[in-house]
Amino acid sequence: MSSKTKVVQWDPADIKEELLKKYPPKVARKRAKQIMINEATESEAPPEIVANVRTIPGIITMRGCTYAGCKGVIMGPTRDIVNITHGPIGCGFYSWLTRRNQTSAGPDGENYMPYCFSTDMQDQDIIFGGEKKLEAAIQEAYDLFHPKGICIFSTCPVGLIGDDVHAVAKKMREKFGDCNVFAFSCEGYKGVSQSAGHHIANNEVFTHLVGTNDEPRKEEYKINLLGEYNIGGDGFEIDRVLKKCGITNIATFSGNSTYDQFASAQHADLSCVMCHRSINYVADMLETKYGIPWIKVNFIGAEATAKSLRKIGEYFGDKTLIEKIEAVIAEEMPEVEAIAKDVRSRTEGKTAMMFVGGSRAHHYQELFNEMGMKTLSAGYEFGHRDDYEGRRVIPEIKVDADSRNIEEIEVVADEVHYKPRKTPEEIKTLEDAGYQFKHYDGLNPDMDKGTIVVDDLNQYEAEKLVEIMKPDLFCAGIKEKYSIQKLGVPMKQLHSYDSGGPYAGFKGAINFYKEIDRLVGSKVWSYMKAPWQENPELTATFVWE
Amino acid sequence: MLLRHTPTEIKERKSLVVNPAKTCQPIGAMYAALGIKGCLPHSHGSQGCCAYHRSMLTRHYKEPVSAATSSFTEGASVFGGQANLIQAINNIFTVYEPEVIAVHTTCLSETIGDDLKQIVTKATKDGKIPEGKTVFGAPTPSYVGSHVTGFSNMVKAMAQLAEPSSEKNGKVNIIPGWVEPCDMEEIKRLCTMIGVDTTMFPDTSGVLNGPLSGEYKMFPDGGVTIKELKEAGQATGTIALGEWCSADAARWLDSKHKVPCTVLDMPFGLKATDRFIDVLRTVAGVSIPDTISYERGQLVDLISDMHQYFYGKKVAIFGDPDQLISMVEFLRSIDMCPVYVVTGTPGKKFEKRIKELTSDMPYECKVKAKGDMFLMHQWIKNEPVDLLMGNSYGKYIARDEDIPFLRWGFPITDRQGHQYFPTVGYKGGLRLLEKILGLLLDRKDRDSPEETFELVL
């Protein structure tokens, strides 16, 4: 790295042109709308970005599919539900433990996460239909494990041959009586990215599971944490901090989650949304059906964590809680600051790029800021326009054919359980004081002027961006890791964190500082050229003269 | 206990696979296609398959794995994937400039009945394939066979690129099967030592174990060339390593181009390597150089030094048929007892072969093709073993049952370096022995009470 010359003067418009140059004209036109030069100022809105549109065939995309979003991301971290993939073996196999969702079941708790369940469809099932096999598989799973819940996930061929997974699930649910069986039509070809799968998963969980446990909860300051998946133990650290503050987390959707957490989610008094993209609509539904308001939070970054805790404290407005939160922040911060200061002496002024799923490409900028690092370019793998431009654009987003076939569920206030947590007056008082409910400004406003925001980045553009802008660090997923590193640039996975984590909360911030310090400071990046490659004009005889 | 819900009592399951010992066809096809020089593998289906396969291969090989996808959405699934594939071919040649695109299907495109040959013909007619470039494909429905089948299908499709010719070029086709890039390197080294001029396909050496130099090449220098594949029909003979992975391609060359083929076991361990070297000698018509006999002698030497620790030890092993057959033979040759052998890949022949190889054991070997790891774990619970061998997923069983665990096979996602250290040939045998003994003696040290904890073992 040290031997590379930095391009100090680069014009974002030139970079954009360079990225588009090689494409066939039609492709270039489409990509041009998904590559945005962030020129937001305080007085003007940043330009519109096109997002959540189809990936162009043949382009090496970072995206996955609907099944991956549904089974892998949302339902993957629920430990006491038996998740059966209905399809050929591959989909189940690849979503088996690969996302590093951690869970703690205790010595006796149920934990099916280390298991992979599949109907392993064979050609005769494709020809004659797989419903019978699915039914038998559910029965076998029930007989073996007697779980609280069994979920069924449809893969591509299931949708094509028309297996009615929902009917099979219903039949078995009624047959068992003590096991909630429900299904997801999350065939990989639906939608344009894994985002569609999140939506399908969340809808079914909301329909079949949320609110089914009526037993009242007596704890104080009850929240739900939405859009947190406990990758590398993030959820553990957030829970540690919340607990220390005296805040009760009723349900995490869905890191380290259990069947009963979802079933009791209606008892919370506030929903806190981490990953806006994967779950914001559930927060809305919880509010509509049960009267639980929601706020956007971020536990990535020590400052962001403190800010989010204070926001929760302010919502409850209880002096004891607010004081406790301040005490916790005061206790946690010195160690964080000491390490940040040390690390910062080596990371200050370094640059990063980040292309990760939903909110991570936004949240992690807080951590980089704490280390004095600047994000040159960022974007989402499966974001929608509101993730970039904020929720204010939601009414303007045109629903296209690919999104229209993802079910939107209509939710109304629950006749029994709807209970507004705050009176309209209380809400207004908070809002007048600057408190923001149901609010998310998106990625763009937090990025510097002139930075480049790219939706659905692909391998070709990633390589070009790195070549031109030479960042000190690139963050994306496992598929991108080694092609970037071949260029001599360290690459940090931010989907599943390589082997590290947690990076959330206070302890997580410390982990991240150390990790980034190691990555940008490692000697290995100075070994790219052998001595004889750096000074090829020297000859061996020179030494002997 | 990580797999705490696995009961000791074994009940037959007909419909539910739990903890599979196999995965699906396209990933094998993608791995094989990476062994062609200048090739971009292409997954004809929805983009999740491609993402999953790339991710898993990357996690195993710790190298960039580039592959494109037809990115099916609902429309393509209903109206067919032809438009997507033709558009993809055009974009790929314009943006990435590969020499060749190797297309494989998925369960999605197979179910809707897309015909790759017809689509490629149409793309050619439409002028989407530049002069001198190649597009070919293999059907790899995920609901038939396993990843091994997909590998074999893609290798067969490579063989089918061979063009008719009456000339002979004196080379020998080596089809190495699904082994690590370093294994392919090792096989080529042995061939060179003996003096056999080879065409190896696929050849992922140099592709998936390439250097770090500050340069990224989407198409690294390794791999078999299309020219070599086109000339595969002019070879003196074909040596196919592994019945499941390689035989189809070899037999096709034999029947179509009269290239005589020999199907051998993969050269893992002493005896399978012996047979491979002996066939190379016959094919080349040469005497085996002393250097090879020397390497063999070193392996025999190490076996003789170590066999006291191996004798009678029970092993549970899971993986792919070709690798398992040679490894079971190797384990028997060092007096270990493979008591449970499981593959997810179907094939009655496999069970028969393993039974033969283990017929002299003091215990009966339990073997299952089309089995899963859940079943193997249950066997272990009923009667424990001294060593477990298989891919990274085995670590959960190993931890629960407290068994030493040797990672070998695909995928290995939690250890590094396997792309560099071969386990084929005599040299590979040395490494396997060292690893097995290390595990057994580490365990002995760990379990020894202080009074029997000894410096000399």
Mean pLDDT confidence for A475-504: 96
pLDDT tens, residue by residue, B233-286: 999 999 999 999 999 999 999 999 999 999 999 999 999 999 999 999 998 889
Q: How far is B331 from chain A (nearest CA, A)?
A: 28
Q: For B358-381, what is the HEC assignment? A: CCCCCCCCEEEECCEHHHHHHHHH
Among A118, A145, A194, the residue with its CB nearest the CB of B17 is: A118
CA angle (A92 as vertex; B342, A226 as ends), nearest 5: 140
Mean pLDDT of chain B: 97
Decide the pairing of beta strands B198-200 and B100-105: unpaired
Residue A171 has pLDDT above 80, yes or no: yes
**Residue of chain A minimizing CA distance to B101:** A58
Residue with tokens 């050929």: A88
Residue A536 has pLDDT above 80, yes or no: no
Residue A5 has pLDDT above 80, yes or no: no
Q: How far is A78 from chain B (nearest CA, A)?
A: 15
What is the total residue count of chain B?
A: 457
Measured CA to CA in angstroms, residue A167 lies from A136, A153, A154, A180, B41 at distances of 14, 13, 13, 13, 38
pTM of the model: 0.97
- Nearest-angstrom CA–CA distance, B312 and B389: 16
Active site residue A198: yes
Q: Which residues of A57-66 are buried (b: 16+ CB within 10 A; e: fewer)?
A: bbbbbbbbbb
C-beta atoms of A64 and B52 within 8 A: yes
Mean pLDDT confidence for A177-205: 97
C-beta atoms of B90 and A58 within 8 A: yes
Higher-confidence residue: A338 or A405? A338
CB A117 within 8 Å of CB A81: no
Main-chain dihedrals φ then ψ at residue B96, nearest 5 degrees: -100, -15
CA angle (A243 as vertex; A239, A249 as ends), nearest 5: 60
**Residue of chain B minimizing CA distance to A129:** B111
Higher-confidence residue: A293 or B363? A293
Q: Name the β-bridge partners of A225.
A: A252, A272
C-beta atoms of A123 and B141 within 8 A: yes
Main-chain dihedrals φ then ψ at residue A47, nearest 5 degrees: -65, 160
Which of B25, B43, B107 to mutate: most A Cβ within 10 Å?
A: B107
What is the total residue count of chain A?
A: 545
Active site residue A68: yes
Residue A97 has pLDDT above 90, yes or no: yes
Q: For B274-298, what is the HEC assignment? A: HHHHHHHHHHHCCCCCHHHHHHHHH
- Nearest-angstrom CA–CA distance, B343 and B371: 6
Residue B319, helix vs strand vs coil = strand
Which of A20, A22, A89 to mutate: most B Cβ within 10 Å?
A: A89
Q: Of the listed A79, A86, A99, A173, which one is catalytic? A: A99
Which two structure tokens, joined as six digits, stand for B283? Answer: 């094919």
Chain A positions in Cβ-Cβ contact with residue B143 (cut-off 8 Å):
88, 121-123, 125-126, 157
Among A97, A123, A479, the residue with its CB nearest the CB of B51 is: A479
**Residue of chain A minimizing CA distance to B12:** A140
Residue B157, helix vs strand vs coil = helix
**Residue of chain B minimizing CA distance to A157:** B108
Residue B29 has pLDDT above 50, yes or no: yes
Q: Name the β-bridge partners of A491.
A: A474
Mean pLDDT confidence for B417-423: 97
C-beta atoms of A156 and B111 within 8 A: yes
pLDDT of residue B394: 98
**Residue of chain B minimizing CA distance to A534:** B213
Residue A514, helix vs strand vs coil = helix
Mean pLDDT of chain A: 94
Residue A388 has pLDDT above 50, yes or no: yes
Mean pLDDT confidence for A275-279: 97
CB A390 within 8 Å of CB A179: no
Residue A543 has pLDDT above 90, yes or no: no
Which two structure tokens, joined as six digits, stand for A407? Answer: 């079910």
pLDDT tens, residue by residue, B160-207: 999 999 999 999 999 999 999 999 999 999 999 999 999 999 999 999
- Nearest-angstrom CA–CA distance, A431 and A262: 29
Residues 6+ apart with CB under 8 A from B166: none
pLDDT of residue B136: 98
Among B23, B27, B95, the residue with its CB nearest the CB of A22 is: B95
Residues 6+ apart with CB under 8 A from A269: A221, A222, A223, A292, A316, A421
Residues 6+ apart with CB under 8 A from A92: A85, A116, A117, A118, A120, B17, B20
Q: Which of A30-44, A224-238, B360-374 has the lowest mean pLDDT?
A: A30-44
Main-chain dihedrals φ then ψ at residue A82, nearest 5 degrees: -85, 115
Among A110, A143, A479, the residue with its CB nearest the CB of B55 is: A479
CB A62 within 8 Å of CB A458: yes
CB A393 within 8 Å of CB A45: no
Chain B positions in Cβ-Cβ contact with residue A110 (cut-off 8 Å):
5
Which of A156, A200, A487 to mutate: most B Cβ within 10 Å?
A: A156
C-beta atoms of A98 and B17 within 8 A: no
C-beta atoms of A487 and B94 within 8 A: no
pLDDT of residue A533: 87
- Nearest-angstrom CA–CA distance, A315 and A221: 10
C-beta atoms of B3 and A485 within 8 A: no
**Residue of chain A minimizing CA distance to B17:** A118
How many A/B residue pairs have CB atoms within 8 Å? 268
Residues 6+ apart with CB under 8 A from B33: B39, B41, B67, B102, B104, B154, B202
Mean pLDDT confidence for B386-410: 98
- Nearest-angstrom CA–CA distance, B248 and B156: 6
CB A472 within 8 Å of CB A352: yes
- Nearest-angstrom CA–CA distance, B273 and A519: 42
pLDDT of residue B45: 97
Give the helix/strand (H/E) hosting B18: strand B17-18
- Nearest-angstrom CA–CA distance, A202 and A208: 10
Mean pLDDT confidence for B134-151: 98
pLDDT of residue A2: 42
Q: Of the listed A31, A40, A51, A68, which one is catalytic? A: A68
Chain B positions in Cβ-Cβ contact with residue A98 (cut-off 8 Å):
55-56, 59, 413
Residue A535 has pLDDT above 80, yes or no: no
- Nearest-angstrom CA–CA distance, A226 and A237: 15
Active site residue A99: yes
Q: How far is B109 from chain A (nearest CA, A)?
A: 9
C-beta atoms of B217 and A58 within 8 A: no
Mean pLDDT confidence for A281-287: 98
pLDDT of residue A3: 43
CA angle (B168 as vertex; B165, B172 as ends), nearest 5: 115
Decide the pairing of beta strands B237-241 and B172-175: parallel
Specify the DSSP class assigned to residue A524.
G
Among A133, A144, A405, the residue with its CB nearest the CB of B74 is: A405
C-beta atoms of B55 and A477 within 8 A: yes
- Nearest-angstrom CA–CA distance, B212 and A181: 50
pLDDT of residue A1: 42
Mean pLDDT confidence for A268-296: 98
pLDDT tens, residue by residue, B291-341: 999 999 999 999 999 999 999 999 999 999 999 999 999 999 999 999 999
Active site residue A13: no
Q: How far is B288 from chain A (nearest CA, A)?
A: 38
Residue A393 has pLDDT above 80, yes or no: yes
Decide the pairing of beta strands A270-273 and B337-343: unpaired
Q: What is the ipTM of this complex?
A: 0.97
pLDDT of residue A44: 66
Mean pLDDT confidence for A458-470: 95
